[in-house]
Structure 1
Amino acid sequence: MDTAGIQRLEAAWAKQRCLSLQDRIQSLPSSKLSAPAKVTLLRLLHAELRFLSRILSPSTPVTSNVGYFESIVTVLLHPALCHASRLCKPLPSSATHVDIVCTFDRFPSWFLVSDSNPSRISWSGGLRARVERVLHVARSTMVALKPSSLFLVFSRGLPDGVASAIGFQFGAVEVSPHANGVFFEGLELEEGWVSVGSWEMKGSRWFEIKIPGDNLDCSEKIPIIANALNREEVECGNDPFGELISLLKQGGMESVDVINFDTTALIAMVSGISNGGAGRLLRAPEIEMIQRFKGNYKFVIAQVNSELEKPILSEIKTAVEGKNGIICDTVYLEFKELICMCGGTFEKSRADQLLKNITVVPDKPSARVASLPSTRKISTKNKVVFGTGDYWNAPTLTANLGFVRAIYQAGMSLLTIEHRPRALTVGHRVVWRCMVELMRLCIGAWEVEEDLPWIQEKALDLVEFTGTVTQAIPGPRVGQSPLPWIVAIPLAYLGLSFVIAVFKTVKKFTSPRAKRRRVNAVLLKSVDELFQKGRDETGFNMDEILRKYIRYALNEKPFNPDTVADLIHLRTASMLEDHQVADVLNEISRRIVKEKGPVVMDIEDSQKKGFKRKLAVQALFGKVFYLSEIPEFCSRDSSLIVKEIFGVTDDDADTLRLHTLSESGIVETLEKLVDGDSGDSVDES
């Protein structure tokens, strides 16, 4: 057979292995890996299939990662490994790649898996750098994600020289993958619980590197002496609930074979729906059921149908068989309260019987669960319940899938066993508050949660945090509310200050001065628009327009407060710099002097025409000098030389200065004197 034919056979064989591996991954139970991790693995496998389906060049050898994926799945099937939360991707907030993040032998662990040919594995060829990088992250990461061990798995073996280097450099110890038991049963497939034969990974070599931390083995923890109430000899019936009770192991906490229950699990075990009441509820008239359960009718009927299709106690029996059941104080108090409010007669009896066969332990969340940041889904109560189970290295039986998903998203592997939710049923009526609480506990497994926008989720977290902090503040409360007086008084002061500030702001914006400012703004905007239009039509720039209008106002309009105000508004609307306004006044002064001459103080011997001209020049100087001294019109710029242009000394300027516009009589007299010359004084340039 030619090279191309061999290559096609190799590609076809690799594709067949991919398809077979895909079926194995699909059948892996949720106890082995989370749904997001399964999606990641299947996506990588699909990419490998697409690569193998391409037309390959005959000169290119077939290379495939199928062996690597097969090694990953084989490791996942190890009897001591469960709850893989992250596969074949970098760690959160880090670029470091880890193949498996899971729980191994009841402890959080990381795995690096290699399917390389042993002859091609070199200690200095990247293996040492990769292990160093992962170890650095494992030792420095937050407590919630810190593993107890890092496992190095070489599925096809490892040269002795490299193995010795790993042990010498990192303190790695070679372990037997079969030390945790060759045979295991109870692998949950889609069809149910089935028995599985032996697990093996021939030719592989496993190395374990311990990561220092706060994780404690059960043997190192102080045993909890079971309460006498919990250890009474209880007669178990022959019904499914009695069989479930008989499967619980009667023993102290010295045993490591422990299972932790949350409130949803206890409710599911004692619920009337789970204990033969499903058929009776389904046979009841619909109108009666709606009147009895009101808005929770659909919720209850959905659980009834689920129970008839697949009884939940059968699943729970497999999970609890031979194990010592524990609950923390928080779960004990919550369960007792719910049973008292919402439980029927038989449900209360089953609850008492159940509590006598499980151990109540103090609230003691593990360090890694307690260090998780509190969010809407990862609440403080959930951290206590699941953290206590993690402290005892016990899986938690729960229907709270919202919390489980949030844990997986955080990158943590936590021992959990999920079950479908069940609710309590009351003999003759439903307590509304109780049903709302039960739905809150169980609905996470029954409905698909909507992903809220980031900002909305943060807002909910802030509200939850604020409420928690408020409840933690000691002191007397305001009436029946949970708000303490020590918080209410500052809040009242802030509220009153806010109202006063709003009142002052409204008053300020409605005052006569504010109205005048708004009118001025409208005027300036109108003048500015007029400037723009006039400049476009005439071709004059802004300083020329200002100069011509000032000459017009000086010669043709009475020099009164309205005229001065108009000139100030015009100057503001022109948006000219102070030095540009000074240049305009200087230019006006030059043109006046050029037309009429400088200021002459001695006018006694002048003839009539010369007398009028000299008075007109003095009047025009007084107006220009008055404008130059108004701060709103022109600053005292060094370039302003009005007095020098008119040839006026400081003493003469003081004599001719218009101190106020109340001297309008003098101004009007001067205007009358120069009235005959007004036609000649208009600026034509």
Structure 2
Amino acid sequence: MVDWGTRMKTKMEREEAVVGLSGGDEIEIGIEIERAKQRCRLVIDRIRILSSSSCSSLSSSSSCNRTLLRLAQSELSFLSRLPILPNLNLNLNSRSLNIGHLEAVVHILQQPFVKGVSRVCKPIPLPPLPPSSSSSNLLNKNSKIHVDIVCSLNGNPVWFLVSARNPNYIFWNNNNYNASSCANNNNTNTNTNNLKKKKKKKTFFLRTRIQQLLDAASHSPPSTKPCSIILFFSNGLDDTIRSKLEHEFGASSDLGFHFPHFHLSKELEGGGGGGDWIYPPPPPLPPPSLCVLQIKIDLSRGRDRDPIPQIECGGLKDSLLLLSAAAAATPTKEDCIPFNFATSFFSLISRMKLGPLDVNVNVNDAEFAPQKDLSLQADLINFDTTALIALISGISNGSTHNILAKSESELRKRFKSNYEFVIAQVMSEIQNPIHMELGGVLFGKRGMICESVCSEFKELVSMCGGPNEKSRADHLLKCLMVVGDSPSARMMSLPTTRKLAYKNKVVFGTGDQWRAPTLTANMAFVRAISQTGMSLFTIEHRPRALTGE
């Protein structure tokens, strides 16, 4: 995996090292190799922390976790095979590292605004491009294009391309590369044979690479089409090349969020990554000149936009009309207080925004209304049926000890085949109450549900809920905005299958259309979406069942 899409054909193929291993004797080289191995261990630790955190961008993507761990462990294995003894002649020209690239990728994934990661360091399959496309020959031949991260930022799907290269070795085009090679040859008196070998090496130029990505993005299916491409240069970018990106492709540093600089020297000095540090710590280095640029995709390029499917049960325009009419009647906190003021349910609801939603938008422009910062202003969070049940369930509201006090035979008669499922939820609730867990998730958020969820929830509560659960359900519905079923076009472009059920596509797609994350325990559907390559912002919660309480 080389920067800008060169795929790793073998385990020995690596990105050119950002850390300079030139000069010095073999002892110094051995120390540098040990430092690189320590960096690998640090990256592996960070990946494991990301995969274990329920709030991280990788919490629901086991495939991405495996990919990152495999790459980091492969790099560590590669470094461990290198000879470092002084009497062995190590050819530095054959040395290369990929750890800088992995560090940058993991650093991006650690940021709280990076959500819905569906692919990491994997190629994206592409449909055949029309012959008129400037990159059709190359892309059609490969049928895939490498993207470092596919995820969501502020509810919008994006592609990340990450480079940890020395900015002096990032070339704009072939002419730029030849001129630089000749200049280096004259200045350093490089051997002619070495220069020829260097020219034979497969090289990707930034301008060509960006053009290929823009063509691929514009012609991707709606489910994987990004709104923008984020270019992440962890070691900076030459001002001349940056100017060309801004002039030719409209690249901008105005992203609406900030990436902090990252530096590993302090962690290495402290012996991070496991084991005691027995080599001299690396010298302190200034933070790299991080450069992050965004290129927005012109959706008018290439083929026409796919039409938004017609949804029989409603549309986004109906949702806006409904919200406009109901804004003045939106309940206050006093309206939503349950009977027992001291319950965790009331405490949880009180953390949410319950005032009127400002919906001063043109309903005639409903297709793009959610993109006009409506959901960002409202801090919306979309509930599916599993989330609503979890909030009102007797298990979540103090009935755990009452359930455990009953005999096993009575519970089996009551819950039938769901007995083990309910008992597992009771034990989970005792160890970690779900209302406390969701308190931070819902704080300052405005809850929304689509009409399909509202209908299904009312039906389930009427059939299976007890008096207290029904009371909490009534109060909860008063605190939520009900919008019409209005799934996004990219969600509905996915085929309806057993794993991608139509009703789930409507529920999650409505949240996607409103740029709102969906709170859910339906991780089977989330995994099925991730397997399609589509990035979708979801928040996982533990399941709860109605108990008749």
Return the TM-score normalized by structure 1: 0.57
| Cα separation, 2, equivalents of 1:147 and 1:426 | 45
Match of 1:315 among 437, 448, 452: 437
Once the two structures are TM-superposed, the CA of residue 131 in structure 1 deviates from its matched residue by 1.2
**Distance of 1:17 and 1:242 partners within structure 2:** 47
Partner Cα separation in structure 2 for residue 258 and residue 281 of structure 1: 35
In the alignment, which of 367, 372, 383 is matched to residue 261 of structure 1?
383
- Deviation digits for residues 90-120 of structure 1, max 9, x if unmatched? 0134420000000112211001010000111
User: Is it true that 1:382 corresponds to 2:504 in the alignment?
Assistant: yes
Show the 5 A alignment for 1:130-169: 130-169=209-248
2:348: which partner in 1? Answer: 244
Aligned residues of 2:228 and 2:296 also touching (Cα < 8 A): yes
Pick closer, same or farther for the CA change 1:318–1:201 going to 2, 3 Å.
Answer: farther
Instruction: Provide the secondary structure at the position in 1 that maps to 2:121.
Output: strand
Cα separation, 2, equivalents of 1:77 and 1:376: 33
Q: 1:2 to 1:146 in 2, by over 3 A?
A: closer
Describe the superposition over 1:284-336 as per-residue Cα deviations: whole angstroms up to 9, x where unpaired. Answer: 21121112222221111111111112111112111111000000000000000
> 2:267 is matched with which residue?
none
Whichever residue aligns with residue 332 of structure 1, its letter is C
Q: How does 1:28-107 map to 2 (within 5 A)?
A: 28=50, 29-30=53-54, 31-33=56-58, 34-56=61-83, 58-61=89-92, 62-93=95-126, 94-107=143-156
- Partner-residue secondary structure (3-state), 1:326: strand
After superposing the two structures, state which structure 1 stretch, 390-399 or 281-290, moved more: 281-290
List aligned pairs for 1:242-641, cutoff 5 A.
242-254=346-358, 255-427=377-549
3-state DSSP of counterpart to 2:403: helix
- Partner SS state of residue 108, structure 1: strand
Q: CA deviation at 1:212?
A: 3.0
Distance 1:176 1:327, change over 3 A: closer
Aligned residue number for residue 113 of structure 1: 162
Alignment correspondent of 1:175:
254
Q: Helix, strand or coil for the counterpart of 2:144?
A: coil
The CA deviation at 1:420 is 0.9
Select which of 268, 283, 290 maps to 1:204. Answer: 290
- Indicate the RMSD between aligned Cα atoms, in angstroms: 2.4
Partner of 1:231: 331
What is the distance in 2 between the residues matched to 1:238 and 1:291? 32
Structure 1 distance, partners of 2:329, 2:496, is 34
Instruction: Supply the AA of the counterpart residue of 2:43.
Output: L
Aligned partners of 1:177 and 1:206 also within 8 Å: no
Write the letter of the residue equivalent to 1:16: Q
- Counterpart of 1:24 (choices 36, 41, 46) is 46
Query: Residue 265 and residue 298 in structure 1: after superposition, are their counterparts in 2 closer, same or farther (change >3 A)?
Result: same
Partners in 1 of 2:354 and 2:144 — Cα distance?
A: 47
Q: Deviations over 1:547-567 (max 9, x none)?
A: xxxxxxxxxxxxxxxxxxxxx
Aligned counterpart, 2:25: 3
Q: Alpha-carbon deviations, 1:512-536, whole Å to 9, x = none?
A: xxxxxxxxxxxxxxxxxxxxxxxxx
Q: Name the CA distance, whole Å, in 1 between partners of 2:246 and 2:144.
A: 25
Q: Which amino acid in 2 is paired with 1:32?
A: S
Structure number with greater CO (CA < 8 Å, separation at least 6) is 2
Question: Which residue does 1:440 correspond to in 2?
Answer: none
Give the conservation status (yes or no) of the 8 Å contact 1:157–1:203.
Answer: yes
Q: CA separation of 1:210/1:285 partners in 2, compared to 1, >3 Å: closer, same or farther? A: same
Distance 1:161 1:409, change over 3 A: same
Give the deviation of 1:273 after TM superposition.
Answer: 0.6
Tell me the CA shift for residue 4 of structure 1.
Answer: 1.8
2:187 aligned residue: none
Contact 1:3 1:58 in 2 (8 A): no
C-alpha change, 1:120 and 1:38, in structure 2 (3 Å) is same
Contact preservation (8 Å) 1:247, 1:322? yes
Contact 1:151–1:208 (Cα < 8 Å) also in 2: yes
Which residue does 2:271 correspond to in 1?
Answer: none
Q: Cα distance 1:178–1:293, how it changes in 2: closer, same or farther (>3 A)?
A: closer
Q: Is the 8 A contact 1:248 1:324 kept in 2?
A: yes
State whether residues 227 and 360 of structure 1, in contact with CA within 8 Å, keep that contact through their aligned partners in structure 2: no
SS where residue 250 of structure 1 aligns? coil
Instruction: Give the partner amino acid of 1:148.
Output: C
Report Cα offsets for 1:604-638 as digits up to 9, x if no partner: xxxxxxxxxxxxxxxxxxxxxxxxxxxxxxxxxxx
Q: State the SS of the aligned residue for 2:412.
A: helix
Superposition deviation, residue 418 in structure 1:
0.5
Structure 1 position 411, deviation (Å)? 0.3
Q: Spell out, residue by residue over 1:376-419, the C-alpha distance to the aligned partner (whole angstroms, 9 max, x if none).
A: 11111111100110111000000000100001000011010011
- Paired residues in the alignment total 407
SS in 2 for 1:144: coil
Aligned-residue offset at 1:22: 0.8
> Structure 1 pair 293/390, CA: closer, same or farther in 2 (3 Å)?
same
**Alpha-carbon distance, 1:421 to partner:** 0.6
CA shift, 1:35, in A, is 1.8
Tell me if the contact between 1:342 and 1:425 (Cα under 8 Å) persists in the aligned partners: yes
- What percentage of residue pairs aligned between the two structures are identical? 48
Query: Which amino acid in 1 is paired with 2:90?
Result: S
Query: 1:206 offset after TM fit, Å?
Result: 1.1
Give 1:2 shift. Answer: 6.5
8 Å CA contact 1:262–1:385 kept in 2: the answer is yes
Determine which structure has the larger helix proportion and give its number. Answer: 1
Local SS of the residue matching 2:117: strand
Residues 92 and 411 of structure 1 are in contact (CA less than 8 Å); yes or no, is this contact kept in structure 2? no
Contact 1:227 1:359 in 2 (8 A): no
For 2:449 and 2:256, the matched residues in 1 are separated by 32
Unaligned stretches of 5+ in structure 2? 1-22, 127-142, 178-204, 262-285, 300-304, 309-315, 359-376
3-state SS in 2 of match to 1:231: coil
Letter in 1 for 2:298: P
Contact in 1 for aligned 2:154/2:515 (Cα 8 Å): no
Contact 1:113 1:153 in 2 (8 A): yes
Aligned residue for 2:212, secondary structure, equals: helix
Q: Give the Cα separation in 2 of the matches to 1:355 and 1:23.
A: 43
User: What is the rounded CA distance, in whole Å, between the counterparts of 1:77 and 1:284 in structure 2?
Assistant: 45
The structure-2 alpha-carbon separation of the partners of 1:177 and 1:114, relative to structure 1 and needing over 3 Å to count, comes to: farther
Q: Name the CA distance, whole Å, in 2 between partners of 1:107 and 1:22.
A: 29
| Residues 649-679 of structure 1 deviation map (CA, whole Å, 9 limit, x = unaligned) | xxxxxxxxxxxxxxxxxxxxxxxxxxxxxxx
Residue 53 of structure 1: CA displacement?
0.5
Closer, same or farther: CA 343–201 of 1 in aligned 2, 3 Å: farther
Compared CA separation, residues 180 and 340, structure 1 to 2 (3 A): farther
For 1:292 and 1:227, the matched residues in 2 are separated by 42
Q: Distance in 2 between matches of 1:395 and 1:252?
A: 20
